[in-house]
A and B are shown apart, each in its own frame.
Chain A
Amino acid sequence: MRGKNDLELVALTKRYGGTTAVNAVSHLFAPQSYVCLLGPSGCGKSSTLRMIAGHETVSDGSILLDGQNIAHLPPAARGTAMMFQSYALFPHLSCKDNVAFSLKMKGVDREARHARAMKLLDLVDMTHLADRLPAQLSGGQQQRVALARALITEPRVLLLDEPLSALDPFLRIRMRGELKRLQRELQITFIHVTHGQDEALALADEVVVMNNAVIEQAGSARDVWGAPRTEFVARFLGGHNVLSLAQGRFALRSDAVRIDTQGVEAVVTHVEFQGAHVALTARMAGDQEILAHIPEAAFYADPKSPGEALRLTWDEAQLHKLTA
């Protein structure tokens, strides 16, 4: 499906000397959606984002926005805007002037650019602190200002480089709600780089999992979580077992594993209470570890402790064959 303002990567490659950070990545991002680039550090997700933003030169390949190759345009001419990991607010400028910075560069007069900046600050609920310096703001407030500054250029694609990593867990959950709300309101594409799978699953319309400079799997959060294609994806998303069975390797959601009177024999090695469920680790024949998420009530009806033998079972339909 192609729409207006869609972003496509074509064989996008980044090499640093001998190492390849991004290896011929091709992907069409769903337009006007919230996309999360997910992967461990060093997987190439940040390099990909920085190439889209124009802060990293492209070694090979193209970046198409609305059908136009933007790979060699300066950052401000691309129709993208970037929000930096540490927010990169100018420490010598007030919030208002930070937000108005790009308009000042364009030569918009003081009054007009301040009026526009106040509108953007209103969007992120920060008008009351417009005259403060960044150092006088909390992390969450700085982030709102950074967001307003990125949005004032009216980008078609907003690029967010680990935007929530500097916040405490409570604020992180609140801010991700706001990011999602903004994306819905503005109807533009957000590309959000993160290494937190919970963040990606919570936010993304489309999750793009990267590893070793390539895309491992892309799709809606539910599809990727429900049917990981490779062992890496299954392990990285968490909550999955990777089992070697006679027919090959399979991913199995740990909440699909049940304790039963028949099934595979196993010995409990570890029990961890996690609130709504209990994480039970057991060792099966062939020295394979298996993790089962048992609903809390069901587990305590017949509690198990480490060293006990038990039988585990699951529906065959829950097994997903892994390609790698």
Chain B
Amino acid sequence: MQRILNSRHLTGWLLAAPLVVVLAIFLVLPVLMIVVVSFWQATEFSIVPAFDLGNYEFLFTSHVTLDVFWNTFRYALITWALTLGIGFTVSWFLAFHIRSQTTQVALALLCTVPFWTSNIIRMISWVPFLGRNGLANQAFLSMGLIDAPLDWLLFSDFAVILAFVHLNTVFMIIPILNSMMRIDRSLLEAARDAGASPFQIMTNVVIPLCKPGIMIGSIFVLTLVMGDFITVRFMSGSQSANVGRLISNDIGLLQYPSASATSVVLLLTVLLVVAGMLRLVDIRKEL
């Protein structure tokens, strides 16, 4: 008995057990359930346990779903590009232009202020700003920049992207800032000493050394945007769709098998994207 208790293997397993149990019940089991249900059959009024590839067949042959998947990628890519641009610039400013550490911390915290309110409230607060009679249109009209209110400001792809960028930029800023803060300042001086222009310093020194941070931020943003459904519904005024909305609509119609199949495909897509990104950069250095 004593020998069993002393075994290192057993202690290891016991220490890991609580987490294993929690993950098994709340993550692995539900995912397995979804995978199982995705093969079931459904009609308008019944769900039949079966092993049927019909849900997947429909998914991959329907123009609607393919369009929606494409739309999801489009949102994700545009949001990723914009958050990366903004996040990198803001981090650069915070890391290299602010000398006092107190100011640095204060400004970094300021970036997180929007997160003190809920996601939904932050989205809704765009409505009075962007609407037909919103602040933006009124301001443009009174400045004489436009003759008639702009319709594409709200309930459009523009609004969706704007909200995505607003919601997710901070997830880009923090990891990139973290990477940048670790760059030894004498490296920048050494680069300058070697005749590098500011742009060359950025491309040859800062970006390579920020790669792990950029990658972590990108994973955050891509997974958040690809899994989102509420932002698209709110900001497009239900005029655009992404995969998340497809799933939520199916659930609303009690089409669980179809929703499950879509979820499985989405999950695999996101995992593939993340796996591809992890192959490019070794982020373990940063953790």
Contact residues of A with B, CB < 8 Å? 53-55, 74-77, 81-82, 84-86, 88-92, 101-102, 104-106, 149-150, 153
Contact = CB atoms under 8 A, between A and B. Distances in A.
B205 A75 contact: no
A91 B190 CA distance: 12
Contacts of B209: 91-92
A88 B194 contact: no
B186 A76 contact: no
Contact of B191 (A53, A86, A101, A150): A101
Given A104-B204, A105-B200, A90 B192 contact: no
Interface residues of B, number: 17
Contacts of A82: 189-190, 193
11 contacts: A55-B189, A55-B193, A74-B192, A84-B189, A88-B187, A92-B208, A92-B209, A101-B191, A102-B196, A105-B204, A149-B190
Contacts of A101: 191, 194, 196, 204
Interface of B: 184, 186-187, 189-197, 200, 204-205, 208-209
Contacts of B200: 105
A55 B200 CA distance: 17
A88 B190 contact: yes
B195 A153 contact: yes
Given A86-B186, A153-B194, 8 more contacts: A76-B192, A76-B193, A86-B184, A92-B208, A101-B204, A105-B196, A106-B195, A149-B194
A241 to B, nearest CB: 40
A88 B184 contact: yes
Nearest to B200: A105
A105 B187 CA distance: 15
Given A92-B209, A104-B204, A105-B204, A76 B187 contact: no
A104 B191 CA distance: 11
B188 to A, nearest CB: 9
B194 A76 contact: yes
Of residues B190, B196, B200, which shows the largest number of chain A Cβ atoms within 10 Å of its Cβ? B190
A88 B192 contact: no
A121 to B, nearest CB: 16
A300 to B, nearest CB: 50
A101 B195 CA distance: 9
List the 6 shortest-distance A-B pairs measured between CB atoms, nearest first: A76-B195, A102-B194, A88-B190, A88-B186, A92-B208, A105-B196
B189 A105 contact: no
B215 to A, nearest CB: 14
Contact of B193 (A75, A89, A91): A75
Contacts of B193: 53-55, 75-76, 81-82, 150
Contacts of B196: 76, 101-102, 105
Contacts of A153: 194-195
A85 B186 contact: yes
Contacts of A84: 186, 189-190
Nearest to B186: A88
Given A91-B209, A92-B209, A105 B195 contact: yes
A54 B189 CA distance: 9
Nearest to B207: A92
Contacts of B191: 90, 101, 105
Nearest to A99: B194
Contacts of A85: 186
A149 B205 CA distance: 15
B181 to A, nearest CB: 15
A273 B86 CA distance: 66
A76 B196 CA distance: 8
A103 to B, nearest CB: 9
A90 B195 contact: no
A81 B196 CA distance: 13
A93 to B, nearest CB: 8
A58 to B, nearest CB: 16
A106 to B, nearest CB: 6
A82 B193 CA distance: 7
Contacts of A74: 192, 195
B185 to A, nearest CB: 9
A90 B186 contact: no
Contacts of A55: 189, 192-193
Nearest to B188: A88
